[in-house]
Amino acid sequence: MHCIRYQPYFQITEKEVVPVTSVWSSGFVEELLPSSQQVCLLYHISYLCLAKFPKLERLLRMRAVETQLLFGSSEAVLLKCVGTSQNLVSSLFPMLIHAVEKNKPVLAIKYLEKARTWIMEIIHDVEKMVDR
């Protein structure tokens, strides 16, 4: 299993904003594997118990497939969150800091709008997944 340390991306000192290194790995998705395996096992046990009831067995199979698709969607959204976070920290925030230091408010607003767009996309993806 992989361990993730959650730390602030930037640390504010008296005079400047300094990036803080943190550990990011897509391996955190693998930490969800035991949960998905447990759900899979519960579906299998339920399936074995319902072998004599074809309608319930069919319903259970449908739900198992839906659950499997949701786990895949969840993984994709989580990976998108990680990618977006890394993009914000590694490229957008440094450009934003530079724009502020050079006193270019229009450019800074443009960068903030870009961040807002990325974040809103993730929120929209999560809302779609919740609606399922």
Q: What residues of the chain score a pLDDT lower than 50?
A: 1-15, 17-22
Q: What is the pLDDT of residue 102?
A: 92
Cβ pair 31, 1 in contact under 8 A: yes
Three-state secondary-structure class, residue 67: helix
Q: What is the pLDDT of residue 20?
A: 47
94-126 confidence digits (pLDDT tens): 998 999 999 999 999 999 999 999 899 988 988
Pairing mode of beta strands 17-19, 10-12:
antiparallel
Q: Which helix (H) or strand (E) holds 128?
A: helix 105-131
Global confidence as pTM:
0.56
